[in-house]
Structure 1
Amino acid sequence: MTVATDAQPAATGEQPAVALFVTCLVDLFRPEVGFATLRLLEDAGCRVYVPRAQTCCGQPGYNNGDYEGARSVARDVIRIFEQAEFVVVPSGSCASMLIHHYPELLDGAWRDRARALAARTWELTAFLSDVLGAVPPARAAAAPAGQQQAVAYHDGCAGLRELGVREQPRRLLAGRGIEVRELTQPDVCCGFGGTFCAKMPAISARMADDKLRDAVKSGAGTLVAGDLGCLIALAGRARREGVALSFRHVAELLDGRLEAPPVGEGTRG
């Protein structure tokens, strides 16, 4: 059973206790990803809880050079999550912030606490695949006709380069019976890059166009990724340019309950 609480469930020695770090974009723009993540973890035998006091990971300030502000956020996150058996994040970039950048930001005892938290923090597909060895249940996906065909997978920069997340989502999708078609340049940035897309919009748009053309050439109808920021940016660009692609977070496809429209399309309910 999932609970929203700041208290860690008591250890049982059988079911892993997982604290879900929701991320700002999931919370504000795509809560379906959070609920899909909860179901995936529970289906895999975890007891999931969602610390109420969590906020941002501090990445926006960190990326803009506000290191003191990022340190303050990092210390808050550590306080909230450091008793967790595992911390799971449905975002490669936010997970990497906790795993790699908190220890770089902090000194002394706080660095030690950051390293301890980092050792228990996982990106979602890496946790499911590498820690739990999970295979999502083969439930029928409630998708409109044509949306459960082949997909193309976009590797977010932080997940790929900083966490080594590449084969895990593909392995999980294949286990779910979903065909993954490879992009010709899967390791090239989509142009989002957090605040990069706001600071250099022309370059960002060209990079997004290249990624969209690559996805269309694959013949897949849906582009899938593990970072919502990439998906929101690409979906927005596709809509403006009239590119016929759908966009889904990998957690949604693995969960299989696709009641909500794809990212950037329509309204809920």
Structure 2
Amino acid sequence: MNDWLTVERGDAPLVLSFPHTGVEIPAPFDRALVSPWLARKDADWHIDRLYGFARELGATLVRTAISRTVIDVNRDPSGASLYPGQATTDLCPATSFDGEPLYDPGAEPDAASVAQRRTLYFEPYHAALGAELKRLRERHPKVVLYDCHSIRSVIPRLFDGELPNFNIGTNAGASCDPALTAAVEAACDGPGFTRVTNGRFKGGWITRFFGAPEAGVHAIQMELACRGYMRETPGPVREGEWPTAFDPVHAAPITARLRAALQACLAFARSP
């Protein structure tokens, strides 16, 4: 594979996608950025480490090391908004989640740069996901694509109040069988954590594009509020204070729920 694209193959009917854990910003796409830290601030910090146990379950892991500031592989490649009428970020973001400019004035990616980024990074990532789903679908009647995400708990520009711990997205029920949704919900529910399904985050382009229950591919997105697995003080963050270090002890309670969620995905995929 490309040096920025990692595919770890397993034989279980489960694929984990990590579209936003990357922080690399290769030249020339690092030019005219206001701040390297600001350009990386909205990464899904430590999520690939949090789900490290998935290897033990036989899952396939697909990850890009490229920062979402270069190109967001979980956005509609046409540039159309996945959440019309709501604040969001673009295929090649010009602002952070908080609305801060990522580039010097007038230096935002133009059409030619966006097209280049799509060719270099977006299309290979999706080709890798598609290839792994095809490989596993040839071996299993059903395959689950589980798209892994996280976001800071409080971002007023994007949502009101404090985000629930678990935010499950299934494109309003279109990307997977309701039985899979119910099984993942059951794994997440319980004392100490909050959960919503198809709330503010209904699933990005990966969930919507690959989810095809009628063809045996069931896609589900999991957006975690960072406070569930990181030491986060909800609210604005500053350089030097964010991200906080990954602490597996602090993350242990939510890791147990996530393990149960992935086990539920496997039980669903292996069910008649």
Fold shared by both chains (TM-score > 0.5): no
Give the TM-score band, short-chain normalised: 0.3 to 0.5
Which is bigger in relative contact order (C-alpha 8 A, separation at least 6)? Answer: 2
Q: Which has the higher helix share?
A: 1
Task: Output the TM-score relative to the length of structure 1.
Answer: 0.34
TM-score, normalization by structure 2: 0.33
